[in-house]
Structure 1
Amino acid sequence: MRTGAGAGHTGYLHEAICYDSDEHLLDVVVPFLLGGVAAGEPTMVSFGPRNAALVQDALPAGCPVMFLAGGEVYARPAGAIRAYRTLLGEHVDAGAGQIRIVGELLPEHFGACWDWWARYESAINHAYDEFPLWSMCAYDARSTPSHVLADAHRTHPFTARPLGEHAANSEYTDPETFLLENRPEIADPLQQRPPAADVLGPPPDEARQVVRAVGEGRIGDARIDDLTLAVSEIVANAHRYGRAPVRMRVWAADGRVVVTVADTGRGPKDPYAGLLPATSENSAGFGLWIAHQVCDHVSMQRGTDGFTIRLTVGS
C-alpha cells in the first residue's frame, strides 16, 4: 500500500527539490522521511556528508532512516542504476508497498560530466518505474548552475515543496525524447592539441593495440585494460551497426586518456543504450553498457555528419 503523495500512484514518483536554504531543504525532507518511517516503509537518504549530517541532526534520536554512501552510489550513472535496481528489488521481495529515497548529486557531477548525469536523471523515470518508489532529488538553487537546474525540471515530473506541496513541472520531457537529444558537450582540454593517434577504419584488435600503446604509462594497467575493452566494443559497434568510414582518435596525458570513435551513421535508436543492460549481447547496446561501466565519462553526439562517442578514463 502506498502512502503520502504516492497514494494511488503506480510506478515511480520522481520529484526534484530546488531549495534555496537549509531550512527549505529540511522543511521538505524531514516530513518526507518521518512519513515513511511512520508508515513502516523502507526510508533512505543518499546525500553528501554536509547534507547528510544536516538531516541526521534534524531527525529524532534513533529514527530508523537508512543513510547510504551517496558518493559510492553515484560513481557512474549506469552503476547507480544497477545498484538501485538491486536495492529496490530486494525491498519489494521483502514485501515493501512503497520505498522512499531522498538523494543528491554532488557539485562535481555538474561540470564536464553533467551530460551523462542529465541522461541518468531522465532514464530512471523508466528504469525504476516497475518499483513502488517515491524519491526526491535535491538541488541547491544557490550554487547549482542554471543549465543543470533547467535539466532538473525537464527530467523530474514533479517538484516537492514545503507544506507537502507537489507541483507538476511543465517543462518535463519524456525520456524517449530527452535521451535522444544532444546534451551540450564540454570540449576536453586534451582535444585542443593534435591526437597522439588518428586511425581510419581500425578493426577492434588494432584499436585495442593503438590505445594501449598510447595510454601505457599514462594511466594504471587496470585502467588501460578497462579502456581497451570499452574501445574494442565501441569500434566493433561502429563497424557493425554504424556506417563507414569509422575513425578513431586518441589523446593522452599523465593520468588521463581520451578516445573518440566516429562513424557516419545515426547512432543507436535505443534511448536507454548504455544506461540499462542490453537485452542481448548481439546488440549495440551491450558494448555501450560495458563502456558506461568501466569509463569515467562517456558522451555521445549525433550530428548531420554522423555519430561520435567519446570515452574518457582518468582525471
Structure 2
Amino acid sequence: MPDRGTAARSGAERPGPEEFVHTGLVFRSLRALADAVVPVVRAAHREGGRILVVLGDVEREAVSTVLPPPLRRAAEFRPRSAFYTAPGRTLAALHRLARSSPGRPVTVVGQPVLPEGDPLALDEWRLLDSVLNLALARHRIRLFCVHDAGAVPAAALDGVWRTHPTVSDGGGPRPSPRYRTPDALGAELAARPLAPLGEPAHRIRISADLGALRAEVARLAARLEVPGGRAEDLVVAVNELAANVLEHGAGRGTVALWRRDGRVVCDVFDEAGGLTDPLGGYRVGGALGARGHGLWITRQVCDFMEVRGGPGGSLVRVHLRL
C-alpha cells in the first residue's frame, strides 16, 4: 500500500478527469503571490476553464495589475468577504460552482479566512479546508488557497500543511509531509469535548410538534434580541436538528440557547448517541440520506456547527454571529 506522501504526490502530478486538486500556496510578498498566481491563471485559460479569483483587496490589486489583459478579462474576481462568510456556505458555493460548469474545469484562487483571535472560528475554517478534499473529491476543481506567511498566525499556517495534500512555499508545489486526511482530523476533533457554556438562558424539550417548537424558538430569539434574519436562520437550524432527533435519533432531546460574545449559541441534544461524526453536514452526495441533508442545510444557515456524540447522547452546537 502506498504511503500518504506517495498518494498525495501521485494525485498532484496526475489528476484524473474528475479529480479535485487542492494546493496551499504560502507567499511572503505580493510579488511572490503574483508570480505564483499568474501561471495558474494562464494554464486554466489555455485549457478553456472557468477561473475564479477571491482575494483580499490588496492581494487582488497585486494580481490583477500584472495579469495580461486577456487573462484579466477571463478571470472572475469576487470579494473575499462575500465568498468566505461561513464554512458551510463556502462549501456550498464551491459545490454550485462545480455543478454549474459541467465538462469544464474550474480553477479557484482563494484566500480563506484564518482568524487569529477566535479559536473556534480558526478550528472550523481549518476543518473546512480539510473536508474539501472529501466533499469535492469527484469534481474537476483546482483550488489554490493562498496564505500570507507574514500575516497568518503560526498555528494557522501549520494548519495549511495539515489540510492540503500539496503545498507551494516558494519552491513550487510539493506533497505535504504533515497532511492529515479529513477523517483523521475529524477524529482529533471528536476527542475534544465542547467548551462548557454554563446555564443556558432557555431550555426546551423536543416534542413531535415541530411547529410549536419553531414558534417557541422564534419567541425566545425575540427575547434574546436576535435580529430578524438571524432569528429565521436559528429557527431553520433548530427545526432541522430537532427533526433529526425525532426521525433518526432517540425521539427525545432538548434545545438550549445562549447569547454571548456577539453570537447566539444553540445546543440540540439527542438522548441517543448515533450522531458522532464532526464532519456531519459536509459529506456531499446524500451518503447519510435525509439526516445528512438536514445537517447540510444547518451548516449553511449557521456560521459554525460542532458535533460530538457518544454513549450518553449526541450534541450539535450551532453558532450564529449577530
What's 2:238 paired with? 231
Stretches of structure 2 that go unaligned for 5 or more consecutive residues are 1-10
What's 1:211 paired with? 217
- Asked if 2 retains the 8 angstrom alpha-carbon contact of 1:13 and 1:134, the reply is yes
Mean CA deviation greater in 273-282 or 229-238: 273-282
Report % sequence identity. Answer: 25
**Deviation of residue 281 (structure 1)?**
9.3
- Asked if 1 retains the 8 angstrom alpha-carbon contact of 2:22 and 2:164, the reply is yes
**Deviation of residue 104 (structure 1)?**
1.0
What's 2:121 paired with? 113
SS in 2 for 1:92: coil
Q: Distance in 2 between matches of 1:302 and 1:238?
A: 13
Q: 1:271 to 1:172 in 2, by over 3 A?
A: same
Runs ≥4 residues deviating over 6 A: 183-186
- Asked if 2 retains the 8 angstrom alpha-carbon contact of 1:81 and 1:276, the reply is no
Superposed CA offset, 1:175-206 (max 9, x none): 23323431778859xx35x3211345555455
**Residue-pair matches, total:** 304
What's 1:251 paired with? 258
Q: Distance in 2 between matches of 1:109 and 1:302?
A: 28
Superposed CA offset, 1:144-176 (max 9, x none): 22332232222110002445x221012212223
Q: Distance in 2 between matches of 1:60 and 1:282?
A: 47
SS in 1 for 2:33: helix
- Asked if 2 retains the 8 angstrom alpha-carbon contact of 1:246 and 1:262, the reply is yes
Listed as ranges, the matches of 1:9-28 within 5 Å are 9-10=15-16, 11-28=19-36
Instruction: Tell me the TM-score normalized by structure 2.
Output: 0.80
Q: Letter of the aligned partner of 2:89 in structure 1? A: G
Q: Letter of the aligned partner of 2:107 in structure 1? A: R
Q: Letter of the aligned partner of 2:21 in structure 1? A: L
What's 1:147 paired with? 155
- Asked if 2 retains the 8 angstrom alpha-carbon contact of 1:182 and 1:302, the reply is no
**Deviation of residue 100 (structure 1)?**
2.1
**Deviation of residue 8 (structure 1)?**
3.1
- Asked if 2 retains the 8 angstrom alpha-carbon contact of 1:27 and 1:162, the reply is no
- Asked if 2 retains the 8 angstrom alpha-carbon contact of 1:123 and 1:175, the reply is yes
**Deviation of residue 142 (structure 1)?**
1.9
Q: 2:304 aligns with which of 297, 306, 315?
A: 297
**Deviation of residue 299 (structure 1)?**
2.0
- Asked if 2 retains the 8 angstrom alpha-carbon contact of 1:74 and 1:105, the reply is yes
What's 1:89 paired with? 99
Q: Distance in 2 between matches of 1:219 and 1:84?
A: 29
**Deviation of residue 107 (structure 1)?**
4.5
Instruction: Tell me the TM-score normalized by structure 1.
Output: 0.81
SS in 1 for 2:189: coil
Superposed CA offset, 1:259-285 (max 9, x none): 112245445366642124562896322
**Deviation of residue 233 (structure 1)?**
2.0
Q: Letter of the aligned partner of 2:202 in structure 1? A: A
What's 1:66 paired with? 76
Pair 1:197-2:195 in alignment: no
Q: Distance in 2 between matches of 1:186 and 1:307?
A: 12
SS in 1 for 2:102: helix
- Asked if 2 retains the 8 angstrom alpha-carbon contact of 1:185 and 1:299, the reply is no
SS in 2 for 1:27: helix
Q: Distance in 2 between matches of 1:71 and 1:200?
A: 37
**Deviation of residue 304 (structure 1)?**
6.8
Q: 1:27 to 1:237 in 2, by over 3 A?
A: same
Stretches of structure 1 that go unaligned for 5 or more consecutive residues are none
What's 1:47 paired with? 55
